[in-house]
Amino acid sequence: MGSGDVKRIALSGIVILLFFARWACAEELPLRLVDHIALPGVTGRIDHMAVDTATQMLFIAALGNNSLEIVDLQKGKRTRSLPRLNEPQGVVFMADSGKLVVSNGGNGLCLVLDANTLEPVTRIDLREDADNLRYDAAARQLFVAYGSGAIGIFDAKFQRVGEIPLSGHPESFALNPRDGRLFVNVPAIRSIVVADVARRQMLDTWKLPNARGNFSMALDEAAHLLLVGTRDPALLIGIDTLSGRIVFSVPMDRDPDDIFFDSQRHRIYVSCGAGYIDVFEQTDASHCRLINIIPTAPGARTSLLVPAMQRFFLAVPHGARQEAGIWIYAVQP
């Protein structure tokens, strides 16, 4: 056997090892891309999503397209599009009543629809910039972030039962049902506002001294940990909800918009408009570390984790080299 043969055999071995190494790494990724559902004709920014796990229908607020897109996950395709909305931003599915609520930033209207037929049921007129939505199924209360600074609270019949005033437009917020507190991102004052839901009043304001653009948020109830994403600089910040103290601050990719906490695996998923999903591992209530960066597409910054389905949905907007669509990831053990 000549030296050339030895080199060829060695090179073949290296190629085989690299192949299996890359295969093994793909298997070990925390999120594995398993499907892609196109949204042809949808242009502009895509905002938040909601899902009906019983019917496997995904509802997508296509803000830039002024439409609500409906995807049948079992069929793997878009089945309907509801046009002529006005900058839809938030969407929430109420499983106990089968209602779907879509908030519109352009005119402040929250449209209440029958989730099966998409026929209108009623509407909530907030007049200005209706944004993020949350539904507390146990209390049967709907929370709407809107305007220059307020969280509106509505009952199951969509009647206003209260309001929490704020010092600026609210972005993402989280409800802690254990103690009835609400945590609200208010970027205009670079702070998280803590409010008492029952008393409809602010309790505290936690300043973010070294960061701006706190738009994203998630809550780890068990660890008493609030997870906040900022854009300038791009940081994942952990805050002790009992004291308001910042317990960690770690860099992440640019333009984060959605954060989800996976309590089963103690992972944190952040979808970033820079074109990545950053995945962190929470080692304890005071520490987390970046374990993976998953390349996606420019502008793909809104997402939805559905633990019951073990799926992570990423909204990918139309771009120069990409068609709008929903990328579906399987959550890996």
CA angle in degrees (0–180, nearest 5) for 222-273-111: 75
What are the distances in angstroms from CA 327 to CA 24, 28, 33, 191, 316?
A: 22, 19, 7, 32, 7
Q: How far apart are CA 107 and CA 128, in angstroms?
A: 6
pLDDT tens for each residue of 117-169: 999 999 999 999 999 999 999 999 999 999 999 999 999 999 999 999 999 99
Q: What percent of the chain is modeled with pLDDT above 70? A: 92
Which residues are 281's β-sheet partners? 267, 289
**Residue 266 contacts residue 282 (beta carbons within 8 Å):** yes
For residue 23, is pLDDT > 90? no
Handedness of CA 138, 141, 144, 150 (dihedral sign): negative
pLDDT-derived band at 284 (thresholds 50, 70, 90) equals confident
Report helix, strand or coil for 242: coil
The values of phi and psi at residue 271, to 5°, are -90, 125
Considering only residues 290 and 23, tell me which one the structure prediction assigns the higher pLDDT. 290
Which residue, 156, 213, 159, 205, is CA-closest to 182?
205
Give the pLDDT mean for 166-181: 96
Judged by phi (left if over 0) then psi (alpha if -120 to 50, else beta), residue 138 lies in: alpha
For residue 98, is pLDDT > 70? yes
For tokens 């309001």, what's the residue? 163
pLDDT tens for each residue of 186-235: 999 999 999 999 999 999 999 999 899 999 999 999 999 999 999 999 99
Element (H, E) at 287: strand 287-295
Tokens of 328: 């579906």
For residue 238, is pLDDT > 50? yes
Judged by phi (left if over 0) then psi (alpha if -120 to 50, else beta), residue 174 lies in: beta
Output the pLDDT for position 27. 55
Element (H, E) at 10: helix 3-28
Q: Which amino acid is at 65?
A: N
pLDDT-derived band at 19 (thresholds 50, 70, 90) equals very low
Output the pLDDT for position 321. 85
Give the pLDDT mean for 80-105: 98
Residues in the chain: 333
pLDDT tens for each residue of 61-86: 999 999 999 999 999 999 999 999 99
Which residues are 192's β-sheet partners? 185, 206
The mean predicted confidence, pLDDT, of the chain is 92
Report helix, strand or coil for 245: coil
Q: How far apart are CA 288 and CA 124, in angstroms?
A: 40
What are the distances in angstroms from CA 273 to CA 50, 91, 126, 227, 257?
A: 19, 20, 29, 18, 7
Q: How far apart are CA 28 and CA 82, in angstroms?
A: 39
Give the pLDDT mean for 174-184: 96
- Cα-Cα-Cα-Cα dihedral of 138, 194, 282, 312, to 10°? 50
Which residue, 196, 206, 315, 216, is CA-closest to 261?
216
pLDDT-derived band at 281 (thresholds 50, 70, 90) equals very high
